[in-house]
Amino acid sequence: MKLWFKIFISTLFLVIAMINITVAVILTNNRSLMISRERSRAVSSHEFICATLKNNVAYERLRSDQFVMSKDAIDDIVKNTILKQFAEDNITIIYDEKGELTRIGSDSVNPSELLDKIKSKNDIYSLINDFNGKSYIFAASEIILEENEYYVVTSQDITEIYTEGERQLRFAQMLSVILACVTALILLIMIKLFLCPLAEINKSINEISHGNYSKRLKVKGSEELKRLSENINKMAGSVEENYNKIETVAEERKRFIDSLAHEIKTPLTSILGFAEILRIKKNISPDELSEYSGIIVDEAKRIRSLSGKLMELISSGNGSLELRPVNTENILGDLKIAFMPIVQAKGIELTVYCEPLTINADRDIFKSLIYNLLDNAVKASGEGGKIYLSCKRDGDYAVFSVKDSGIGISEEDRKHIFEAFYMVDKSRSRKQGGVGLGLALCAEIAKKHNARITLESTPGKGTEVQVLIKTAEVGNNEAE
């Protein structure tokens, strides 16, 4: 069942119930007041009849100059009084002390209940009863006429009160039906108007659920609907942002996997090819054996290098590093020792300069960053080249710089230089065992250290890569 229909039915039922209850209470209270008023009038009329009977008997006794009147004379006075003074539509009954009927009005009734009540009381007793399709208020009491007991019963016709009450009830029921229809129409229009923004919100949410994450709701309507729209817009914004991130990650992973598959395919093909030659060819010269096995070893080393770099890249992208104070002189000193045999073998001049600074870093991982930069500089430099490795203070930052005089990088290549598996000179890099993961790994490591990498290069003149990381507020003796 829809929300608008639930609200419509429950509200309509409540309104109709309240109208009917109110009308019923008003009509019941009104009828009670009218009956109470008629009861008072009936009692007053009864008292007047009793007083008239007493006065007439006393008057006749005085007029006839009798000390005590006979019962027959009193009965005649009672009959004449009733015939002369009271209308026929009302019932008047008089019983003597023996219970014999003395006078009755227009209807024959037997109000024995009243007689039983007044015999045990000394006051006027009244009740409502129906006779011959009419409703009456009966009033009864005992009177003494010349030492004779009489029971007087009088009535007041209140049939019109009940008839009018039923007529008013039928009118109220008809009016209730009309008001219910009018209320239902107005209520339906109001509910539709009030819930109209919800329909728009539902439509927008449906669009968002089907992939339109840029969809935004118009903030309008009541305060509650405005807040709902604002929260849905925030939710849609978060979903869109996360979706874009996931898409980016998915795209990067796809490109990463594609490149990885391609990179592994090439050395594997070479290994399988030359291994197949060694297996099939029967007469292999020592030179051929040395050449083929050398190629297989080089390609295997390349795959090992690729897997190692890949694991470093994946590891650096997961979790957080434990950063500790590290002395920059120790890092560059270790790198100088590690690279000096390599650069000497290639006839490259390596110059190292370092200011004694302290940074917060993971020593081994951060050293891997600078190692990769130096390794790239060595590969880019030919025999007789120069590499300058330094670390200097620049304000609150320690700036590590690796500068070479190698082949340089074009402007187009600089746009993709930090992407995984991207290599400026693919043939040269493959011959030197490169897999295109060095600078991508450097970027990940720098990110983990809240550091920044900049690259400047001129084709044919060389490249300079700088890593900027904040210095730590500790002494050199506390650093690793």
DSSP 210: T
Mean pLDDT of the chain: 76
Q: Given this model, what pLDDT does residue 321 score?
A: 64
Q: Are 289 and 278 in contact (CB under 8 A)?
A: yes
Does 401 or 253 have the greater pLDDT score?
A: 401
Classify domain 321-478 by CATH number: 3.30.565.10
**What share of the chain has pLDDT > 90, as a percent?**
9
Closest CA to 94 of 62, 44, 63, 49: 49
Residue 436 has pLDDT above 50, yes or no: no
Average pLDDT over residues 18-22: 83
Q: Given this model, what pLDDT does residue 382 score?
A: 79
DSSP 473: S
Does 15 or 356 have the greater pLDDT score?
A: 356
pLDDT band at 118 (very low <50, low <70, confident <90, very high): low
Average pLDDT over residues 139-150: 80
- Residues facing 469 on adjacent strands: 398
d(CA 418, CA 404): 18
Burial class (CB in 10 A: 0-12, 13-18, 19+), 354: buried
Q: Are 388 and 373 in contact (CB under 8 A)?
A: no
Q: Given this model, what pLDDT does residue 402 score?
A: 92
Average pLDDT over residues 174-178: 84
d(CA 7, CA 140): 57
pLDDT band at 387 (very low <50, low <70, confident <90, very high): very high
Least confident of 91-95, 151-155, 476-480: 476-480
Q: Given this model, what pLDDT does residue 106 score?
A: 46
Q: Given this model, what pLDDT does residue 431 score?
A: 42
d(CA 399, CA 63): 144
Q: Given this model, what pLDDT does residue 87 score?
A: 53
Q: Which amino acid is at 52?
A: T
Q: Which residue has the tokens 């991207």?
A: 422
Q: Given this model, what pLDDT does residue 90 score?
A: 57
Q: Given this model, what pLDDT does residue 108 score?
A: 47
Average pLDDT over residues 242-271: 69
Q: Given this model, what pLDDT does residue 140 score?
A: 81
d(CA 352, CA 401): 10
Does 84 or 209 have the greater pLDDT score?
A: 209
Average pLDDT over residues 230-253: 79
Closest CA to 45 of 165, 110, 136: 136
Per-residue H/E/C for 198-258: HHHHHHHHHHHHCCCCCCCCCCCCCHHHHHHHHHHHHHHHHHHHHHHHHHHHHHHHHHHHH
Does 282 or 176 have the greater pLDDT score?
A: 176
Least confident of 132-146, 214-228, 325-339, 376-390: 214-228
Crossing angle between the packed helical segments 328-345 and 363-380, to the nearest 10 degrees: 30
- Do the domains 321-478 and 3-166 match in fold? no
d(CA 101, CA 147): 18
Classify domain 3-166 by CATH number: 3.30.450
Closest CA to 365 of 398, 401, 403, 318: 318
d(CA 392, CA 405): 20
Q: Given this model, what pLDDT does residue 202 score?
A: 78
Average pLDDT over residues 384-405: 92
Residue 266 has pLDDT above 60, yes or no: no
pLDDT band at 432 (very low <50, low <70, confident <90, very high): very low
Q: Which two tokens stand for residue 319?
A: 């979790």
How does pLDDT run across 305-356, given as a tens digit for each residue? Answer: 656 655 655 555 555 567 889 999 999 998 888 788 888 888 999 999 999 9
pLDDT band at 437 (very low <50, low <70, confident <90, very high): very low
Q: Given this model, what pLDDT does residue 429 score?
A: 43
Classify domain 214-319 by CATH number: 1.10.287.130
Distances (CA, A) of 205 to 191, 216, 221, 226: 21, 9, 17, 15
Phi, psi of 275 (to 5 degrees): -65, -40
Q: Given this model, what pLDDT does residue 442 score?
A: 78
- Residues facing 374 on adjacent strands: none
DSSP 133: T
- Count Cα neighbours of 129 within 13 Å in the Cβ-side half-sphere: 15
Sign of the CA dihedral with 97 first, then 100, 103, and 107 last: positive
Q: Which residue has the tokens 């039983």?
A: 116
Q: Given this model, what pLDDT does residue 80 score?
A: 79
Q: Given this model, what pLDDT does residue 355 score?
A: 92
Q: Which residues contact 335 (CB under 8 A, 6 or more apart)?
A: 352, 367, 370, 371, 374, 389
d(CA 426, CA 410): 14
H or E segment at 331?
helix 328-345
User: What are the sequence ranges of the domains in the chain?
Assistant: 3-166, 214-319, 321-478
Q: What is the pTM of this model?
A: 0.41
Phi, psi of 202 (to 5 degrees): -60, -40
How does pLDDT run across 21-47, given as a tens digit for each residue? Answer: 888 888 888 888 988 888 888 888 888
Residue 357 has pLDDT above 60, yes or no: yes
Q: Are 414 and 457 in contact (CB under 8 A)?
A: yes
Sign of the CA dihedral with 94 first, then 100, 102, and 105 last: positive
